[in-house]
């Protein structure tokens, strides 16, 4: 008997499956991660002589070939809506027990990330057949993702809302650090890219009183050099870089008050969840963010965080909240800490169990 659960994703995202890992640990299962986006990275590995990357791509190729000559494996596939590659993957997966994993919250066909060949009716029919006939279950990251799927597709399989989870293994303590000074400590954690509102972060710091507000930035990405320059020029902005150690990240969170997450919606992207929101909550930090589908499902507005419209008044409205002062900040921190408990692996592994034990 195959004791493995296979996760097949475009690119590795193990942090999205912490609760699945917990399920596997408690039920004597093993998780194997593989990727179906191979060609580009195979070429990249050869050009750059990256032998580890080359090895991973060869392992992915071997895995996909083996699937063609085997059956009844439990496979969880995460693939973006209307991705044309599903046509080929369906043929490879047809003899297996396939579960679909998605965080996408708009299945109307008007807003989706993969545009290549998606307008072809054959691609759309292939996706409809996959969702309505081929799969054994759906693991949706949010209620809105599952609701939209059910609105536009006749799902006959079972489904479960699994969210993204955190592990408490790296947590130092769960006490809320009450603010002892007049300075409010802001923090941003995430990729340093335009869609994450990095420029708006700088715009905000330009209009806030530097004696009353400071900003710590943690992360890496294409705007890294711009962030480094800004931190050098502005005394109340501190750039730490990328922190891979969760204990260090959590320790840093606990020395701050408010996380700023200025995600900006584009034609192909929005914030579909926000793991950094629940990690901030876990460490007694509230988040002020834009009204994307993911954050709206995590945060209770004006209770354990703030949700603002993603529009031209974002910086102005944020400044108004911060300048006025949050009178119940410590209470909001406590609310955030309590809300975070719902997203622990100890609770969410059961959401995976419901379907996988069928």
pLDDT tens, residue by residue, 211-236: 999 999 999 999 999 999 999 999 99
Q: What is the pLDDT of residue 196?
A: 97
Task: Please give the average per-residue pLDDT across 84-106, as a whole number.
Answer: 95
The pLDDT of residue 90 is: 96
* Contact yes or no for 214/186 (Cβ under 8 A): yes
* 107 CB neighbour count, 10 Å cutoff: 22
Give φ, ψ of 347 to 5 degrees: -95, -40
Tell me what percent of the residues of the chain surpass a pLDDT of 70: 96
**16-39 pLDDT tens trace:** 999 999 999 999 999 999 999 998
Highest CATH level, class, for 168-342 = alpha beta
pLDDT (0 to 100) of residue 314: 97
> 92: closest CA among 77, 102, 114, 81?
77
**Token pair for 116:** 């290549």
> Pairing relation of β-strands 4-9 and 258-261?
unpaired
- The tens digit of pLDDT for each residue in 313-344 reads 999 999 999 998 888 899 999 999 999 999 99
CB 276 within 8 A of CB 164: no
Q: What average pLDDT is seen over the chain?
A: 92
Q: What is the dihedral of CA 167, 171, 175, 180, to 10 degrees?
A: -130
Return d(Cα 39, Cα 20) in angstroms, integer: 28
For residues 236 and 214, the answer to whether their CB atoms sit within 8 Å is yes
Q: Region 50-55: what's the mean pLDDT?
A: 91
Average pLDDT of the segment spanning 110-123: 79
Number of other CB atoms surrounding residue 219 within 10 Å: 21
Concatenated DSSP letters of 63-81: HHHHHHT----EEEEE--T
Distance CA 353, CA 358 (A): 8
**Integer Cα distance of 210 and 42 in angstroms:** 48
Helical H runs in 69-129? 86-93, 121-129
Q: Has residue 245 got a pLDDT over 60?
A: yes
Q: Looking at residue 295, what is its pLDDT?
A: 96
For 347, the token pair is 């609770």
Burial of 232 (0-12, 13-18, 19+ CB in 10 A): exposed
Least confident of 163-177, 234-248, 288-302: 163-177
Give dist(CA 142, CA 103) in Å, integer: 7
User: Could you read off the pLDDT of 171-227 as tens digits, one per residue?
Assistant: 766 666 666 567 899 999 999 999 999 999 999 999 999 999 999 999 999 999 999
So what's the pLDDT on residue 104?
A: 94
Mean pLDDT score, 121-126: 91
How many residues are there in the chain?
Answer: 358
Q: What is the pLDDT of residues 338-353, one digit of tens each?
A: 999 999 999 999 999 9
The reply to whether domains 4-37+71-162 and 168-342 share a CATH topology is yes
pLDDT confidence of residue 327: 84
Give the start-to-end residue ranges of the domains of the chain.
4-37+71-162, 168-342
Distances (CA, A) of 269 to 77, 129, 141, 289, 343: 20, 25, 16, 16, 24
12 — pLDDT class (breaks 50, 70, 90): low
Tracing tokens 């691609």 back to the chain, one arrives at 123
Which of 315, 268, 320 has its CA nearest to residue 290? 315
Band of pLDDT at residue 117, cut at 50, 70 and 90:
confident
Distance CA 198, CA 185 (A): 17
Q: How far is CA 349 from the centre of its chain?
A: 17
Helix (H) or strand (E) holding 8: strand 4-9
Tokens linked to 180: 């002892």
What is the predicted pLDDT for the residue at 66? 96
- Rounded to whole angstroms, the Cα distance separating 109 from 107 reads 5
4-37+71-162: CATH topology is Rossmann fold (3.40.50)
pLDDT at position 181: 65
Nearest alpha carbon to residue 7 among 86, 60, 85: 60
Long-range contacts of residues 234-239, Cβ cutoff 8 Å, at least 24 apart: 234/205, 234/210, 235/210, 236/205, 236/210, 237/205, 238/214
Check: CB of residue 128 under 8 Å from CB of residue 153. Answer: yes
Q: CA nearest 2: which of 67, 72, 62, 63?
A: 72
């Amino acid at each position: 008997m195959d004791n493995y659960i296979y996760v097949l994703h475009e690119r590795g995202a193990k942090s999205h499956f912490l609760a699945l890992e917990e399920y596997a640990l408690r039920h004597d299962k093993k998780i194997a991660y593989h990727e179906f986006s191979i060609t580009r990275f195979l070429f990249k590995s050869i050009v750059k002589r990256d032998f580890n990357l080359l090895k991973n791509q060869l392992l992915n190729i071997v895995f996909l070939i083996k699937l063609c000559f085997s059956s009844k494996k439990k496979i969880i596939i995460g693939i973006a809506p209307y991705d044309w590659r599903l046509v080929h993957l369906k043929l490879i997966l047809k003899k297996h027990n396939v579960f679909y994993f998605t965080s996408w919250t708009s299945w109307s066909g008007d807003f989706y990330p993969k545009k290549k060949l998606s307008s072809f009716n054959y691609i759309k029919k292939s996706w409809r057949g996959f969702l309505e006939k081929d799969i054994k279950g759906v693991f949706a990251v949010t209620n809105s993702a599952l609701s939209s799927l059910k609105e536009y597709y006749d799902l006959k399989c079972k489904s479960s809302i699994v969210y993204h989870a955190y592990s408490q293994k790296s947590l130092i303590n769960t006490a809320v650090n009450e603010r002892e000074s007049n300075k409010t400590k802001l923090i941003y954690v995430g990729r340093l890219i335009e869609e994450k509102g990095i420029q708006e972060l700088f715009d905000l710091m330009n209009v806030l009183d530097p004696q009353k507000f400071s900003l710590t930035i943690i992360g890496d990405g294409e705007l890294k050099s711009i962030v480094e320059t800004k931190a050098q020029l502005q005394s109340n902005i501190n750039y730490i870089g990328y922190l891979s150690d969760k204990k260090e990240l959590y320790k840093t969170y606990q020395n701050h008050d408010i996380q700023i997450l200025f995600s900006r919606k584009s034609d192909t992207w929005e914030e579909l969840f926000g793991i950094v929101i629940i990690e901030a909550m876990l460490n007694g930090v509230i988040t002020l963010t834009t009204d994307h589908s993911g954050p709206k499902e995590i945060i209770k507005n004006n209770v354990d965080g703030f949700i603002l419209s993603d529009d031209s008044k974002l910086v102005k409205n944020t400044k108004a909240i911060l300048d006025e002062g949050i009178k119940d900040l410590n209470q909001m921190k406590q609310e955030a800490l309590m809300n975070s408990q719902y997203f622990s692996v100890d609770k969410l592994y059961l959401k995976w169990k419901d379907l996988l034990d069928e």
